[in-house]
Amino acid sequence: MQRLTYLLGPSLRARPVLRRLAQPASAGFFRAPISTHTVPTLKDPTLLKPFPFLDNEFLVPTASQSTFTVADPVSGQTIAQVPDQGVEDVRRAISSASTAFKSFRHTTARERANLLRRWNDLVLENKEDLATIITWENGKPIADARGEVSYAASFLEWFAEEAPRVYGDTIPAGVRANRIITQRQPIGVCGLITPWNFPAAMITRKVGPALAAGCTVVIKAPGETPLTSLALAELAKRAGIPPGVLNIVTTLENTPEVGREMCSNSTVKKISFTGSTPVGKLLMRQSADTLKKLSFELGGNAPFIVFDDADLDIAVAGAVISKFRSSGQTCVCANRIFVQEGVYDEFAERLSDKVKEFRVGSGYNTNTTHGPLIHPRAVKKVHDHVEDAREAGAEVLLGGKKMEHLGMNFYEPTILTGMKTEMRLYREETFGPVAALFPFKTEKEVVELANDTDVGLAAYFFSKDYSRIWRVAEALEVGMVGINTGLISDPAAPFGGVKQSGFGREGSKYGIDEYTVVKMMTFGGIGDLQE
């Protein structure tokens, strides 16, 4: 069987490639046969842009002559060679954004809202192509990719509506003749550093409020998945967003120096970063000399609690979506699943029955429910966590092995029982398809276990007792709590954490505040009415 596809090789030009597809592997209880490792032809091939984006132009000359490889995580085959930009390139992008800010900041809120609305419409019109690109470079199933595109567009729509609602205040003055008012103004050029796990939504969740506030941006695209962000840039250009307002730097090997320049460059007034806690700390140190405004969405170690009075059908469904969405590669994925002793065995059995229904394989297969991990390092970390737990006495109820017959980045959806607090998975975020079940006895005990971590992004718990719901929700040391649900993401919801999961909020009415500064103006000498 053969299929004509497009492969972007070192020449950075699309060329047709014929190759024989892999034959299905022997069937396992959650293995989906791979029918293709290739990407279908895009309806609009001009969306595939393996070049940085500066002043509304692609194919810009770069100071660095090196490139990096964007690889299909299913097959490991090269999708594109993309310029690996460096410090001089990011300085050019910052300069472009600074020039554009001088005029863009004076556009009306309604003008900016209309730009975001047109961008939203174009994203939805090109939903299938964007989803195809996401699945190709990220590996997530096409249905999940389509969902991400809709989610990404929702932030453009949300902040199109928020742009005209950046209000100030009038404040009673302590002096009779004075009047105090406040005004929110755009902070300036913003540096945005986004991750690979949601290559569309993490862009729009940051760019949407920045542009709504009147800021301009320089985006450091994720090296693993830059093509999605560049496709979004093409649609932003078509929507009429002016040159220099949105710029994208592409880099992989030069990421440390590019990040350092964004943080230390005094023209950049704000850094927004989604990624690991150690990198967030580094960026914070690098931003100190220029006292930038920062918002960080960092690592998590989310507890997922099932009380013995929970509706187990709802709890299992919540665990499936919270733990296994994107093969466990989200920052709010459940990491430690605490189940009260009275329902522990039944919950484990029900969860196992659901996970056995999974089909793992290429994201373009219509029967695939779960795709690969992003790269071999991710597989190694997942396997190391499973082996550590197994050696310390955990039972592998399901899975627990690499799926090398599918490719180097596949790992079996796994359920571990008999987990203990001394195991690595209790302390470290796995970021993979491993559900680790810890037993507990009391409400007080499980809240202490849930809070026994340096991070605090998200938590989930399931109970029918409304008194317990209030007690536990208020006691959990996290920024977001899901109660009887495993899905908490919504453009209307403030997304962010506490402790070493960072600070600041994205989405919601609070998200735009991260890109503004408050100016106070006092009017004096008003006095009394004239006779």
Paired residues of 522 in beta bridges? 180
If one counts every other C-beta atom within 10 angstroms of the C-beta of residue 174, the result is 7
Question: Contact 205/17 with Cβ under 8 angstroms?
Answer: no
Residue 428, class by beta-carbon neighbours within 10 Å (0-12 exposed, 13-18 middle, 19+ buried)?
A: middle
Spatial distance between the Cα atoms of 68 and 90, rounded to a whole number of angstroms: 17
If one counts every other C-beta atom within 10 angstroms of the C-beta of residue 422, the result is 11
Residue 331 annotated to the active site: yes
| Cβ neighbours for 284, distance < 8 A, ≥ 6 positions apart | 294, 296
Q: Among residues 162, 234, 297, 412, which one is catalytic?
A: 297
Residue 297 annotated to the active site: yes
Paired residues of 360 in beta bridges? 31, 370
Compute the 3-state secondary structure of the chain and give helix, strand, coil in percent, each to the nearest 5.
Answer: 40, 25, 40
DSSP type of residue 511? G
Q: Furthest-apart CA pair in the chain: how many Å?
A: 96
What are the CA-CA distances from residue 409 to residues 2, 213, 346, 402 (Å)? Answer: 23, 40, 31, 8
Contacts of the segment 204-208: beta carbons below 8 A, 24+ positions apart: 204/123, 204/152, 204/153, 204/155, 204/156, 204/232, 205/152, 205/155, 205/491, 205/495, 205/506, 205/507, 205/511, 206/272, 206/274, 206/506, 207/246, 208/116, 208/155, 208/156, 208/158, 208/159, 208/160, 208/511
| Cβ neighbours for 193, distance < 8 A, ≥ 6 positions apart | 219, 220, 259, 262, 271, 272, 273, 274, 275, 283
Q: Please spell the DSSP secondary structure of 126-146, one letter per residue.
A: THHHHHHHHHHHH---HHHHH
Spatial distance between the Cα atoms of 256 and 147, rounded to a whole number of angstroms: 31
What are the CA-CA distances from residue 341 to residues 305, 348, 426, 472 (Å)? Answer: 12, 11, 18, 18
Paired residues of 338 in beta bridges? 305, 438
Question: Contact 162/509 with Cβ under 8 angstroms?
Answer: yes
Q: Among residues 190, 215, 263, 331, which one is catalytic?
A: 331
Q: Which residue has the tokens 């032809």?
A: 41
If DSSP codes are grouped into helix, strand and coil, which group holds residue 461?
A: strand
Which residues are the active-site residues? 297, 331
